[in-house]
Chain A
Amino acid sequence: MSKFKKKKGGELPVISTASLPDIVFMLLFFFMVATVMRDSTLMVKNKLPAADQIQKLDKKDRVMYIYAGEPSPRYTDKYGSQPRIQLNDKFSTVSEVAAFVLAERATKRQELQNVLTTSLKVDGDTKMGLITDIKQELRKVNALKINYTTRIGDYTQNRD
C-alpha cells in the first residue's frame, strides 16, 4: 500500500465558485458608487476639446449645463447637421438661452442663485460664432461665471 496513491481517473478538480458572488458584488458596488446619472440625454455630438490648465467644476447643484454641437446621426434628418444648442432635453435656439438660465436659476436655492456656474459642453468642431452668441445671451441675464468644460489632456490632441 503506497502512500502516494494516484488519484483516480483524469477528473478535474472542481473550482469552488463560492467567492464569485463576493467578487461580483465588489465590482457592482464600485460601479454603483461611481455612476453619475445624466440628467438629460445627449442629442448632439459632444466630443469635448482637451485642455490641461483646468479647474474642477463646482458642486453639482451650483452648475447648469448648456450643450452644443452637431445633432446626433439619428436627429440629422429632422434638424440638419448645423451645430445646435441643447438645453435640457430639447434643441433650442440662441434666444431661448436667457429664458433657460432664468428658469434654472429660479429652481435653485436662494443662497446659491448668485454663485451659479454655467458649464458649456461644446463639441470641438463647433464654430465660435455659436458660442459667442451663447456668451452674449449669458451676459444679458448676468450669468457671468462660465466654465468651458473640457477633457483632461494636452492641447495637441485638439488637432486632427
Chain B
Amino acid sequence: MAKRTAPEVNAGSMADIAFLLLIFFLVTTTIETDSGINRKLPPIEDVEDPPIIKQKNIFTVVVNKNNQLLVEEELTNIEDLRLLAVEFLDNGGGEGEDACNFCQGPGDPKSSDNPVKAIISLKNDRETSYKVYISVQNELVAAYNDLRDREFLRLNPNGGLTFVEAYKKYSDPRTTPDQKKLLKPKLDLVKGMFPQKLSEAEPSKN
C-alpha cells in the first residue's frame, strides 16, 4: 500500500495576509524623534544677594522680537555666534589664581578670565521665534562641545574619541559598567574645565 502523504496546505494566500499586516504597520508607523537639547531649569527660589560677577566674564546674547541677534551689544549673524562664543570662553585673560593654563585664546584682559568663570547669558523676547531660539542654543552648546572635544583629545590622545563621542558611549546602555567607570573621570575632568554656564534671563515683556 502506498504511503499516504499529508495533504498540502495551499500557501498561496499567505503573501496576501502578510501584505495586509505589512500595510497596516506601514501606515501606523511614525518614527518618533527622541533626541534634543537637554537643559536644566534653575530652581525657582530667589537668591538673596546674587554673587557679583565681573562684566567681562559675561557674554551677553540677546535675541530680539525680530529674531535679530545681538552679541555683546553688536548685531551679529548666527553663523558667527559659535566662533565668538568659543573665543570668549577660551580667552583665558585671567592672572594669578584666575589664570587658565590650557586656554589657547588671545588672553584679552577685556574678555573672560577663564572658562570656569565665564558665563553666557541668553536673553530672548516673548516674540522671538522658537526656531531661532533653538538655533542659538544649538550654536552655544556647539561652542562648548568644540572646546570640550579639543581638550578631551589633548588629554586622551590615544582614545580616538572626542568628548561628544565619549559622552554618547557613556550614556549608551550597552556600554559595560567597567568601561563606564573608565570613562567617567575623563569626562568629568573635561566637563569641569569647561562647565556649561548658560544663564537665561527672565523674559522681557513689551
Contact = CB atoms under 8 A, between A and B. Distances in A.
Please indicate whether A and B come from the same complex rather than being unrelated chains: yes
B127 A127 contact: yes
Interface stretch (A3-11, A107-115, A134-142): A134-142
Interface residues of B, number: 49
A20 B30 CA distance: 26
A59 B156 CA distance: 30
8 A-B pairs with the lowest CB-CB distances in the bound complex, closest first = A129-B126, A31-B25, A149-B36, A124-B131, A53-B141, A51-B138, A24-B18, A155-B135
B203 A124 contact: no
A31 B22 contact: yes
Contact of A55 (B30, B41, B130, B171): B171
A69 B29 CA distance: 22
Given A56-B171, A139-B43, A148-B36, 4 more contacts: A56-B168, A125-B129, A128-B130, A142-B44
A137 to B, nearest CB: 10
Contacts of A143: 41
Interface residues of A, number: 57
Contact of A135 (B41, B128, B135): B41
21 contacts: A21-B15, A28-B21, A32-B25, A35-B28, A53-B141, A55-B167, A60-B34, A124-B131, A127-B127, A127-B129, A131-B133, A132-B124, A144-B40, A144-B43, A146-B38, A148-B39, A148-B134, A149-B33, A150-B35, A152-B35, A155-B138
A25 interface: yes
A34 interface: yes
A21 B137 CA distance: 49
B125 A128 contact: yes
B22 A53 contact: no
A-side binding surface: helix, strand, loop or mixed?
Answer: mixed
Contacts of B47: none
Interface string B55-68: 00000000000000
A139 B34 contact: no
Given A127-B126, A138-B41, A57 B19 contact: no
A32 B18 CA distance: 12
B2 interface: no
A32 B24 CA distance: 10
B42 A139 contact: yes
A122 interface: yes
A110 to B, nearest CB: 21
Nearest to B21: A28
Contacts, number: 159
Interface of B: 11, 14-15, 18-19, 21-22, 25-26, 28-44, 78, 124-135, 137-139, 141-142, 145, 167-168, 171, 203
A38 B36 contact: no
B42 to A, nearest CB: 7
A119 interface: yes
A72 interface: no
A139 B44 CA distance: 6
A119 B203 CA distance: 21
Contact of B36 (A36, A37, A54, A158): A54
A125 B141 contact: no
Contacts of B30: 36, 38
A50 B134 CA distance: 8
Contacts of B171: 55-56
